[in-house]
Amino acid sequence: MAEVVLFHHVQGLTDGMQAFAEGLRSGGHTVHTPDLFDGEQPASIEAGVAFVRGIDDEVLDGRADRAVADLPAGLVYAGFSYGAATAQRLAQTRPGARGALLYESCIPLTGDWAFGPWPDGVPVQVHGMDQDPFFALEGDLDAARELVGTLGPDLAELFLYPGDRHLFADSSLPSYDADAAALVVQRSRGFLDRVG
C-alpha cells in the first residue's frame, strides 16, 4: 500500500478534503493531510487567494517541508489546485518520490515557475475539468499535456472531466460533482495500488 501526503486547496483543510482523503484510505492507503493554513478556511476561492497572498510563499513552503520532514522518502505527493503546486514541487525536488497526484493544477516543466526536470521513473496523474476557468483556461491543462507528452503514457496520465467547476471533488463545497469525484477517487486508488 502507498503512503500519501495530500495538500489542501486555497479554502483550507475542509471537511470535503478530509472526506476525499478518507476515500483514498478506504483502499488501504495511508494518507496524511497537513493543514498549512493553521485551521483557517477561507469562504471562497477569491478569499483563499487573498489569504495566501497575505502569507509569504517561503512561510507556506516551510510549513509544507516541515509536514513531510519526518515522513519516509517514498511518498506519493498529492494536492488540489494550490496544494497541487506544493505536491508537484515536492515530487520533483524531494528525493525518493513514488508518484504524484495533481488535481486541478499543473506547473510547466520549463519557465519561471518550473521546479526543474521531472524525476526519472516517477509516475503522475493529473485530473481536472475540461472547461474549469482556473485549470483549463489559465495554462495548467497545457502544462499537463506537455508533462504527459514528455513522460509518455507509461508514466503520465491526464484525466479530463466534462464541466467548468473548480474544486469539484470537495464534497463540502457548492462546486462538488459527485459523479466526477467518484471517478477521481477510483482512478487515484488505482494509481496508488500500482505504485504502492
Residue written as grid cell 467548468: 164
Look at the pTM and tell me if it is higher than 0.95. yes
What does pLDDT average to in each consecutive run of 10 residues of the chain (196 residues)? 97 98 97 97 96 92 96 96 97 97 96 92 98 96 97 97 98 98 98 95
Give 98-142 pLDDT, tens digit per residue.
999 999 999 999 988 899 999 999 999 999 999 999 999 999 999
- The CATH code of the domain that includes 40 is 3.40.50.1820
Domain count of the fold of the chain: 1
Scanning the chain, the segments in alpha helix (DSSP H) are: 15-25, 45-53, 57-69, 82-93, 140-151, 178-195
Domain span at 83: 3-195
